[in-house]
Chain A
């Protein structure tokens, strides 16, 4: 075999009743990101530069749960996470709990390249972003109306909402007794399903 290869994803666990138009939009967005990566590979960019470039593009697309269009927490806030790893050097960088950094994946890259650490989170990560000139935006940049509605639905259902649907009623019968015991946000942890 040999030669370059690339793959992108936009999340696992899709609502079977997702409207066809949304499915088409998602496919177009994935293809657009894929072609961005392909042209970078054809220009002999390195693997780690290409994965950062492609994820930056996907973070700006509100169709996917990252960056702009991020899921909202129980408090209606945004807490974004990202990580990157360069296989040829085993260097890696990760960030968590971001709410103002426009491209979390680029901050993870800065952690990898400009810090002695592998992982920075919350206030420390936000401070590091400002020290290193990462692009900062208002948190409202990440919040889309659709996710405000989804958060409301999830609260009304007292559940964790998947990307595209509320769990069907009667979920409390499917979880095992033990799982019922393990709760998060007041619901059995078994409700957590693929994003």
Chain B
């Protein structure tokens, strides 16, 4: 699975996710990636793209959870991602990338590593695989 989240210079957020699924999966099995609210979600507050074990991410409505935590609890992007990944998603089941409309960007995961890269307008950039 691959994904991208962006907040542009006007503060607009967007998310996109694409996947080939699981090797040897049952034909017709759909994971979280195409499900809005599970693998992908964006609103005027943030944008999220998730990856991992699709069934667990669907059960956790993971992408929408991050946005809802920010929207209804008024917490920061980092706090919302930490809560979603470490308190809502079953352990070892996945990760996500997210941006907020005020230009913050974060990656959170509870698996052995996650392929990710991120950058901000003020020059910060990182690429990583492991914790």
Contacts and interface: CB of A to CB of B under 8 A. Distances in A.
A100 B11 CA distance: 35
A6 B6 contact: yes
Contacts of B21: 65, 70-71, 73, 79-81
A88 B43 CA distance: 6
Interface residues of A, number: 92
B34 A8 contact: no
Given A51-B16, A58-B18, A80-B21, A3 B33 contact: no
A171 interface: no
Contact of B8 (A4, A52, A77, A159): A4
Contacts of A150: 23
A192 B22 contact: yes
Contacts of A72: 23-24
Given A1-B102, A84-B14, A194 B51 contact: yes
A12 B6 contact: no
Contacts of A97: 28, 30
A110 interface: no
A129 interface: no
Interface in B3-17: 3-17
A169 interface: no
A12 B117 contact: no
Contacts of A75: 27
A6 B16 CA distance: 12
A55 B107 CA distance: 17
Nearest to B106: A7
B42 interface: yes
A127 interface: no
A11 B118 contact: no
